[in-house]
Amino acid sequence: MIALTDINSGSALCLRRSVLCVPAGNRRALEKTFSLDCDAVIFDLEDSVSLEMKGEARDNLRALFSRIDTPDTGGMRRERIVRINALSSAQAVACLGRADMADMDLVLAIAPDVVLIPKVEHVEDILAVADILTEAGAPDGLSLWAMIETPKGVLNAASIAGADRRVKALVVGLNDLRKATGVLPQPGRAYLVPWLMQVVLAARAHGIDVIDSVFNDFGDADGFDAECGEGRAMGFSGKMLIHPAQIAPANRHFGPSPEALSEARDIIQGFAEPQARMLNVINLNGKMVERLHLEEAEKLVALADLISERKTSA
Ligand code: COA
Ligand code: MG
């Protein structure tokens, strides 16, 4: 994965504008991911796979990962995430009484970049998975992401974000959260915004990324566009997607716009002038610009560089 250091948090800077979820039981869709221009793929073993298909879905991922870095898969490097089943699921309890070891065995065998844990409610839900990974000698680079999709998950988002050094992102799951709370799906998500912002704040307090929820109506391009714009304005790093048609708009909304990039380059240029070297604040075309804006500008340019680097390596 291409990674720079995030100037603000000190953690790795990654492209996570478009995070496509693909059911691991669907071989045709799995194959399709190789040709899609998303930043990250979630290979889902959880809710999009029926209980009867779980074993086949794991076999599909084993086969897919065995040839994932070969030239016939297009060679485009993107973050690979495996969403495991919830630790408390009936299946997991029936298996071992704790984590679903079949999923964990798969993760250890195929070595994705990230394990996405669904329905995280407490620090312990993270530690249970982190302990298994550490005991099994999983590399330090194997990260954890947590789905925040229950009322308790939202209430405990800050402690979950800081639960373990492997935690690198929170992902909001509104389908489950709406089901648990009774909040209706409405354009603008007015009644959900306080909870969404709580999750954004929790992630940012720990210097990690935060991914907005899926938008179910993949035929509604205008509605999706509007929700991407809102998510970007709320501070999300990117959006979890369910359909290839959602990739291009998500990349556009969560990537640096040409205007923002041009302004960022002006700011960097402004602070590079000899007379600005000792200054923490300058006048740029009638606007006050501080050194903190320089850090933001450098981050934006670094993200744009990551995007063009990924395009040229495709
Ligand atoms: N990842 C990769 N490819 C996908 C895809 C996905 N998430 N969703 C659809 N495609 C592919 C289809 O396989 C199809 O490919 P083809 O033209 O080669 O046959 C193409 O995109 C067009 O798909 P379309 O016919 O519009 O939709 P569909 O009926 O095949 O699938 C869904 C619709 C909703 C079932 C499917 O998009 C899906 O399963 N999405 C993910 C759901 C999920 O992960 N849910 C859990 C998280 S909330
Ligand atoms: Mg869910």
Please write the tens of the pLDDT for every residue from 142-185: 999 999 999 999 999 999 999 999 999 999 999 999 999 999 99
Give the Cα separation of 159 and 144 in Å (integer). Answer: 14
The SS3 assignment for 6 reads coil
Closest listed residue to residue 192, CA positions, set 137, 243, 149? 149
Going from the C-alpha of 9 to that of each of 128, 164, 203, 297, the distances in angstroms are 26, 16, 11, 15
Closest listed residue to residue 17, CA positions, set 312, 233, 307, 309? 307
| Ligand 1 centroid to residue 247 C-alpha, Å | 12
Give tens-digit pLDDT for 257-310. 999 999 999 999 999 999 999 999 999 999 999 999 999 999 999 999 999 988
**Which residue type, as a one-letter code, is found at position 185?**
P
Give tens-digit pLDDT for 8-37. 444 568 899 999 999 999 999 999 999 999
Look at ligand 1, atom 8, and give the residue with the nearest C-alpha. Answer: 243
Q: 213 in ligand 1 pocket by Cβ < 6 Å?
A: no
Pair 168, 161: CB distance under 8 Å: no
Instruction: Give the angle subtended at the CA of 168 by the CAs of 69 and 153, to the nearest 5°.
Output: 125
User: What is the model's pTM?
Assistant: 0.93
Look at ligand 1, atom 37, and give the residue with the nearest C-alpha. Answer: 243
Look at ligand 1, atom 26, and give the residue with the nearest C-alpha. Answer: 243
- What residues does CATH 3.20.20.60 cover in the chain? 3-255
- The CATH number assigned to the domain with range 3-255 reads 3.20.20.60
